[in-house]
Structure 1
Amino acid sequence: MGKDLILKTLRHEKVDEVAWVPFSGVHAGFLKGFTAREVLTDGDKLFDSLMEVHKLYTPDGMPVIFDLQIEAEILGCELLWAEDNPPSVMTHPFAGELKVPCKCKIPKITDGRIPMVVDVMKRLKAAVGDDTALYGLICGPVTLASHIRGSEFFMDIIMYPEYVKELVGFCVEVCNAMSEYYIDAGMDIIALVDPLISQISPKSIEALFLEPFQAAFDFIRNKGALSSFFVCGDATVQMDVMCRTNPDGISVDENVNLVDAKKITDKYNITIEGNIPLTTTMLFGNQQDNMKFIVDMLDNIDHHNLIVSPGCDMPYYVPIDNTVATVQAIKQTDSVRKMIENYEAVDENIQIDLPDYENLDKPFIEIFTLDSATCAACTYMVKGIMLAKDEFGDKVDIEEYKYTNKNDIARVKKMGVEHLPSTYINGKLQWSSIIPGKQELLEVVGKYL
């Protein structure tokens, strides 16, 4: 059964095939004609959508809900809702003040959307839990801290490390409470989804966050569940310290070279999960593109301690046929390899005209993101960079290019952007997968004025 395959893989036991987990998120709603908001707020629609995922994509494991704002909403963050994306955090209750929420603010099982989520978890457990491993996804403590504090959190890491420790300590208690609710509801794996880890230096992670994450994963283990550390963005240099937080698995997206990353996770005997490209392959590719990616991946990587999954939450409009092709390539790799042995992907060759960067009237700041509407790391990169607009006004131009847009993908390729999110000024890379503090940002931009 798929469930046993997932559990054995995360327990580092020998298995005969590679496990498959579709991080279907709001895409589950697309399968039934529901909007993202409907599927994240209506338990019946969420359950119906998840059953459709189970029927169409025959997963070995699957998440119940992919929304990193559930905890933030309860803690006082206002959300901006979308029809084809999860909501994003718009306000931060402790922006401008170095405070930590009191312990009475730790979410109760009756708060916010938790009752709806727990109910769906129990229903899905009863329906498919015997043959499918179920994932409970929780907003990780560092990303949750940034939701509470806002973009100032990244300067806090440098200026007020003791405050950061206290704030993240509170967020770990939130994670533990959520873990307990979800495990009691039948979840087999708890994933701490912390996309902002890729934006923080390994040295800072080790000094400030190593022990809190270890405590969170220990809590999950002591409750009898397995764990996964889910990161987005280019977390290549963070992989070693992430492994030392002692999760059972680590999930990465397409910014990370999976073969190289697996050499690190193997050293610590940790399972790695990933990392089918969300847009270029799943959303904009065809069935052969998806098959070829999977076959090439499986032909070039050791299958022990490996789970194949999308790099992150699947885009809402991913064609059903593309995901079905992915499943076929994972489960029938030999026959699919023969099907695509002569296939070559067609480059659309979209023409992109770049500005004359040497002769601009004013600094041009370009932010290349996966999509600031869905990627927390990208959201805070954009918010951080927009501080330059607040300071300099019309003296600077700022533009975001999203990897969910074909023209923007072509621009990324022409610019030679290697990692997302990244920020360029007048065509020159300034910050790659790192969110600058306000003072650094203004000093750098000021040099271009």
Structure 2
Amino acid sequence: MTGKERVQAIMKQQVVDRIPWVPFVGVHAGSILGYTAEEVLKDADKLFDSLMEAYKLYQPDGMPVIFDLQIEAEILGCELVWADDCPPSVKSHPCSDEAKIPCQCLMPKKESGRIPLVLDVMKRMKDSVGDTTALYGLICGPFTLASHIRGNNIFMDMILDESYVLKLMEFCTEVVLKMVDYYTEAGMDVIAIVDPLVSQISPEHFTSLCHESFSTIFSHIKMKGALSSFFVCGNATRQIEVMCKTKPDSISIDENVVMAEAKAITDSYGVTIGGNIPLTTLMLHGSQQDNMKYVVDMIDTVSNENLIISPGCDMPFAVPKENTIAISQAIRETESVREMLKNYEAKGEDIEVELPDYASLDKPFIEVFTLDSASCAACTYMMQAINVAKEHFGDRIDTIEYKFTEKINIARCKKMGVTNLPAIYINGELKWSSIIPSKEELFEVIDSYC
């Protein structure tokens, strides 16, 4: 089978010769050739050359053409902050001050923003590797897009003004449908709707505010002749079943979700599942053997039917290419790799971390544990909530962000017992995990500590 046939078959619940491998290379592809994230996301030639180099090195069955959830937001008037080592983040929200719906005149066209660049590279990738490789077109999901437009206020809107949220979701769904049309016309085999903020709301809110949008989108993708993937980051454990009910062909999860438990649910709905190689502890900071062992253990402990192996999300920029090659080898040559690793034991790093004396603090200390608020949308909005609180409370509180991309913070998470990201602790006590509080709720809890 070709890689493309393998991915298409597994998403149709058919038998394949081995588990498909889909690396979400994103801006990491640029790092291979020495380009910054901003360069590959703004220059079609650099993006194409980087993707082709990643293709040669990692031998994927499927791969995304671009991993940037801000393409649509930029077109709709959001100001972006660019970085060298991750996709841009959203800085401004055009509807943050007033609960309104963006003008229909902003609806994306093929000529809007960076869409021409994306379509150009999609065509080139289709011509170069499209016969043998399943190409993914990634689109920002409607709820995360609505959050980009409205900002953190959307979490209070969900409580006080559901009708507005539904109208905003209708608008964002229309945006997504336009992007689906453009990407399927460009020959994308799989349309992935990437909506990291879905993990930050309750299943009840998903059902009442998001179900209709996602069902409409996945039905449209099917009508366009492509396969679909519902990509969510963070601890989406409680959302897996309601996500399945929107009828995507596949769901992709990250390391916050236990693969075996999630797969039991997706299997019951006839949905393929993908994931969930840890991004930082393994891909970024682990050894080749660590990455191989994780993959072999997954293959040995999880039912191989309806399964795609991939990173838990967009690969960090600085992942050593040797680690990704090792993953590819473990998938393609599982028996020989298993034999190679039979006496291997991972060596944990002994990093000393000193925790604050929480009982002796003279004011509330808010610690935010994130993957990285510069690159993870859910982390961005959780950190924005804390920044708003800092502006309000000023010197009466102290705040800090611990990014999981740094080894010392991985050790800190272990010592604190942090199990899911993003999370907010106040004076050493867990207050929110994988759910973003509204401003009113956050202020009320902080007040109780002052």
Query: TM bucket by the smaller chain?
Result: over 0.9
Amino-acid identity (%): 63
Distance 2:105 2:245 in 1: 31
The Cα offsets for residues 362-419 of structure 1, whole Å up to 9 and x where unpaired, read as 1100000111011000000000122221111011000000110000110000000011
The Cα offsets for residues 181-209 of structure 1, whole Å up to 9 and x where unpaired, read as 01000100000000000000000100111
Question: Cα distance, 1:115 vs. partner?
Answer: 0.3
Distance 1:341 1:394 in 2: 55
Question: Cα distance, 1:361 vs. partner?
Answer: 1.2
Distance 1:238 1:61 in 2: 25
State the match for 1:347 in structure 2. Answer: 348
Identify unmatched segments of 5+ residues in structure 1. none
* Structure 1 residues 371-382: aligned runs within 5 Å: 371-382=372-383
Q: CA RMSD in A?
A: 0.6
Report the number of matched residues. 449
SS in 2 for 1:266: helix
Counterpart of 2:94, as a letter, is P
* Structure 1 residues 41-190: aligned runs within 5 Å: 41-190=42-191
The Cα offsets for residues 249-291 of structure 1, whole Å up to 9 and x where unpaired, read as 0000000000100000001000000000000000000100000
* Structure 1 residues 267-286: aligned runs within 5 Å: 267-286=268-287
State the match for 1:403 in structure 2. Answer: 404
State the match for 1:415 in structure 2. Answer: 416
Question: Cα distance, 1:347 vs. partner?
Answer: 1.0
The Cα offsets for residues 209-260 of structure 1, whole Å up to 9 and x where unpaired, read as 1011100111111000000000000000010000001100000000000010
State the match for 2:36 in structure 1. Answer: 35
Counterpart of 1:116, as a letter, is L
The Cα offsets for residues 334-357 of structure 1, whole Å up to 9 and x where unpaired, read as 110110111111111100000100
Distance 2:159 2:246 in 1: 21
Structure 2 length as normaliser, TM-score? 0.99
SS in 2 for 1:386: helix
SS in 2 for 1:447: helix
Runs of 4+ residues deviating >3 angstroms: none
Counterpart of 1:50, as a letter, is L
Distance 2:389 2:5 in 1: 51
Question: Cα distance, 1:102 vs. partner?
Answer: 2.5
Distance 1:78 1:442 in 2: 27
State the match for 1:317 in structure 2. Answer: 318
Counterpart of 2:116, as a letter, is P
The Cα offsets for residues 60-79 of structure 1, whole Å up to 9 and x where unpaired, read as 00000000000000000000
State the match for 2:23 in structure 1. Answer: 22
State the match for 2:197 in structure 1. Answer: 196
SS in 1 for 2:399: strand
State the match for 2:338 in structure 1. Answer: 337
Counterpart of 1:152, as a letter, is N
SS in 1 for 2:395: helix
SS in 1 for 2:449: coil
SS in 2 for 1:20: coil
Counterpart of 2:207, as a letter, is E
Note if 1:444 corresponds to 2:445. Answer: yes
SS in 2 for 1:445: helix
Question: Cα distance, 1:52 vs. partner?
Answer: 0.4
Counterpart of 1:358, as a letter, is A
Counterpart of 2:123, as a letter, is K
* Structure 1 residues 200-211: aligned runs within 5 Å: 200-211=201-212
Identify unmatched segments of 5+ residues in structure 2. none
Distance 1:187 1:2 in 2: 14
SS in 2 for 1:165: helix
The Cα offsets for residues 19-66 of structure 1, whole Å up to 9 and x where unpaired, read as 000000000001111110000000000000010011000000000000
Counterpart of 2:442, as a letter, is L
SS in 2 for 1:24: coil
* Structure 1 residues 430-441: aligned runs within 5 Å: 430-441=431-442
Q: Which range moved further: 307-316 or 383-392? A: 383-392
SS in 2 for 1:191: strand
Counterpart of 1:269, as a letter, is G
Note if 1:213 corresponds to 2:219. Answer: no
Distance 2:62 2:165 in 1: 34
Question: Cα distance, 1:103 vs. partner?
Answer: 2.1
Distance 2:309 2:359 in 1: 44
State the match for 2:251 in structure 1. Answer: 250
Distance 1:443 1:167 in 2: 27
SS in 1 for 2:138: strand
Distance 1:68 1:292 in 2: 31
Note if 1:237 corresponds to 2:238. Answer: yes
Distance 1:381 1:319 in 2: 29
Distance 1:169 1:380 in 2: 21
